[in-house]
Chain A
Amino acid sequence: MAHKRPDVMKTLADARPPEFDPERLAGSERARHDLNTILAGAPEERTASRSARPFTWRWALPVAATAAAAGVLVATLPEGGSGTRDTRGSRATAGPTAGPATDGPRHTPESGRLALLNVAARVDRTADEGTYWQTTTRSSRIDVATAAESTFAVASSETSRWSFGVRPGTRSLWISGIDATTEPRTERDTARWRAAGSPKDLTLAESGSGGKLGLRLEPGARKRPTVERINGGDKIAALGARNVSYAELRKLPGDSPKLKEVLADLYEEDRGSEISGRTEWMWRQAAGLIGLPVRPEVRAAAYRVIADLPGIRSLGEMTDPLGRKGAGFALPATARPDYGTARSELIVDPATGALLSDQEVLTKPNAKAAEAGLTAGTVVNSTATVTSKWTDRQLKTP
């Protein structure tokens, strides 16, 4: 077959929509659930007979262009090596042997990964330490509420101050609800809320929850900040399903393949948690680590772990919710029951590697969200880090 023009099969292969990319379909909650269900139906573990033909399909997978990444990587995994204790986590725990396969699927714009690796290289390495690691965050969210058949959006914001006491006997505190506001998002939302009789306790549109548990809209009423102690003995933070001490946080590896391995193990332990999907989970944990009192190397490694997540992409220069400029990164969009589909984004200061904002942005509103005026691009949830520093003085409680 002679081809005068670019090979149509090649173009077609390049055009594969992400929905058909196995890399993106791996590790879903549903897949795990099905696996467990199927195996639970098993009588008991049957021991395989030693057949004349060794079980070699792992190496026999077709390694065509579209499958190269997964195929090559699998072939390089050492049988029974440290990273393969649990083969379900093998892709993420392959470590340095993974080679070019860690570049991920073809549709990944290389720029996303590279830009993040560069952020990792810029992370402030000043190895400061003090008695308290303190951060201030401003978080905002938008909820879609219904009242008297009217649907509208409610925006809430608050500032939190976190203080992690890292010396023996110190306390860790979380002060939340500072400068808290909850109000209809726009004038149109205000009008709809009033038309519904200005109810104080609101019901969330999708889940039907709310009321006492949910949203309280009382313009003018100032919410008082609340102070919570967040340490239990020497445990000061959560990592996956575990509470960890400062000593344990300090021990985290600053080498990204090793950190990935640690996170992969925690993921196995944390199955069935509310965050579904391995990629989102890894993203959440890695992004969370950046704000904790970990060594600067660990922060850099966390960015590298994020850089290697499948489907990561660069969004270029962006403005965070506090108006600061930074470089944006996103995961592919996934379904968010309350809104439609949305994607997780990070905005990072490319000069210092500081995490500016960790946010969820709507990519396609569902019917209720659209009715409430939310559109693709609406930031439905964000946490912007205002400051983070080591200090020797505990927070003053209001």
Chain B
Amino acid sequence: MTDAQRFRDLYEECHPRVLAYATGLVGRQVGEDITSETFTVAWRRMRDIPTPPLPWLLGVARNLTRELWRRDGRQYALAAQEAQRLITSGAQVEDVAAGVAERAVALQALAGLSAADRELLTLVAWHGLGPRQAARVLGCSTATFSVRLHRARRRLERAVEAAGPSHAPHDSRDPRNSRPKAESRKPKVTVKEH
């Protein structure tokens, strides 16, 4: 297998994940640029990439966002705001599944935490990293990571409690709720298997 082929495979498998991570830090637009730069670095260092490669790639992406922060604090701040907005707007996303209110509360709570806490929590909950891998992304020991995660998690729990289930709305956005009862007996389209 040539390096180019290996790189294509690496790209195929990891690009969406690096982009998802970068989007969480700096929003989609800047996230695309960061991801592009990350893989440019990866290509140059193809032979140095450890197994598994994802924590290494996320670590590179993270360093690149810090570089951006040093180079252009204003752009970074705007980009970070965009990432924040994606999280909070997720709290209003329409969804018919159960547990919507709980999730919305979790997102609101998350948005209220410090950037450092958000980073720890989302590495695990959204990007699927185990403690060892997440520690590698952040460049700390696994033990340190676990302690920090434990604390971040407690703060999240408290924030969720503060937002409280009393908030849990009966969903007023759903127009079906305001329809007269008689109409709701009308059969919906059923697409059952026969």
Partner-B contacts on A (CB < 8 A): 1, 6, 8-9, 11-27, 30-31, 34-35, 38-39, 41-42, 45-48, 53, 55-58, 60-67, 70, 74, 87-88, 90, 107, 109, 111, 114-115, 118-119, 121-122, 316-317, 325-327, 350
Contact = CB atoms under 8 A, between A and B. Distances in A.
Q: Nearest 7 pairs between A and B by C-beta?
A: A17-B90, A64-B128, A67-B128, A15-B103, A22-B16, A118-B191, A60-B52
A192 to B, nearest CB: 30
Contacts of A90: 12
Nearest to B2: A45
A35 B40 CA distance: 9
Most buried by B among A22, A39, A88, A350: A22
B99 interface: yes
B43 A42 contact: yes
Contact of A38 (B2, B43, B90, B104): B43
Contacts of A15: 90, 102-104, 106-107, 110
B193 A16 contact: no
Interface in B78-128: 86-87, 89-90, 93, 95-97, 99, 102-104, 106-107, 110, 121-122, 124-128
Given A39-B8, A58-B13, 5 more contacts: A17-B86, A20-B126, A42-B4, A48-B2, A350-B190
Given A45-B2, A87-B8, A16 B43 contact: no
Please classify how large the interface on chain B is, using the bins under 10, 10 to 19, 20 to 34, 35 or more.
Answer: 35 or more
A50 B35 CA distance: 29
Given A26-B16, A34-B39, A14 B103 contact: yes
A127 to B, nearest CB: 21
Contacts of A55: 1, 6, 51
Interface string B111-148: 00000000001101111111001000000000000000
B191 A8 contact: no
Given A26-B16, A39-B7, A45-B2, A316 B188 contact: yes
